[in-house]
Chain A
Amino acid sequence: MSSEVSSDNPIYGPFFGVMGAASAIIFSALGAAYGTAKSGTGIAAMSVMRPELIMKSIIPVVMAGIIAIYGLVVAVLIAGALEEPSKYSLYRGFIHLGAGLAVGFSGLAAGFAIGIVGDAGVRGTAQQPRLFVGMILILIFAEVLGLYGLIVAIYLYTK
């Protein structure tokens, strides 16, 4: 069964797909963790003086969590398409590796952006509440960076 390995279906073909699925969730979770931690310190510092703003200031944490969900979706998609080497061409392995890396590194970048913006934005919102709209807009622009990675990953996955 698995003896039908050729140059198109080598035994190491699924390795690339597995690495794609793993890197999708690993790097997205890394970015999400950084975003959560960085904006979490801002929330903790802000809430000492303005505890009534906690509901508004949780938004960066939620947005950082969404980055990890992007990675999760792509990782589940890739993991569902993995098969044994005889049915899994090397080309599909490369495609899946590319999809995983696309969403993973985009998520990492977006998580960094959300963390830094969330930290400064939450601290600033405590001083000037009208900054909130600006913070949300900047966070959304940081968030769509991860969404672009997800779109590219899904587009690659359909190849």
Chain B
Amino acid sequence: MSTKNKKAAGGNGVAPKQTRQQSHDSQDYSSFKTVLFYCMLIVFLPVLTFFVLKGFVLDQFLDISEVKVNIASAVGAVVALHIALGLYIYRAYFGAPGSKGSKTD
């Protein structure tokens, strides 16, 4: 909504201003997509890992007790969570394409 307003405000200006605005919008969109992807990964991966591991471990190794299955799934979920968090921090620190030099004014 705010981008639309900005575009409308910049529409009667000169052409380079508009293209810069568009490039800002596309950068914002790509960084939003990245952040959304990693946040979804961090939120849903551990939950998914917990229940998949619980079902899978219960299916495969029926000889171990219920408590151990729960512990294994919990530890697996936390490990998966930290892997996802590490990926996000790595991406934010090293990758972050489009976040460099975009401060134009």
Contact = CB atoms under 8 A, between A and B. Distances in A.
Nearest to B38: A62
A77 B102 CA distance: 46
Interface in B68-82: 70-71, 74-75, 77-78, 81
Determine the main DSSP class of A at the interface with B. Answer: helix
Interface stretch (A6-14, A65-73, A108-116): A65-73
Contact of B35 (A58, A65, A72, A157): A58
Nearest to B70: A77
Contacts of B71: 154, 157-158
B96 A56 contact: yes
Interface residues of A, number: 30
Contacts, number: 72
A111 to B, nearest CB: 16
Interface string A112-148: 0000000000000000000011001000000000010
B25 to A, nearest CB: 12
Contacts of B21: none
Contact of B85 (A63, A76, A77, A133): A63
A50 to B, nearest CB: 7
B99 interface: yes
B89 interface: yes
B70 A69 contact: no
B34 A55 contact: yes
A56 B92 contact: yes
Contact of B81 (A55, A69, A76): A69
Q: Which 4 residue pairs are nearest across A and B when measured between Cβ atoms? A: A52-B102, A56-B92, A52-B99, A73-B74
Interface of B: 27-28, 31, 34-35, 38-39, 42-43, 46-47, 50, 67, 70-71, 74-75, 77-78, 81, 85, 88-89, 91-93, 96, 99-100, 102-103
Interface of A: 50-56, 58-59, 62-63, 65-66, 69-70, 72-74, 76-77, 80-81, 132-133, 136, 147, 150, 154, 157-158
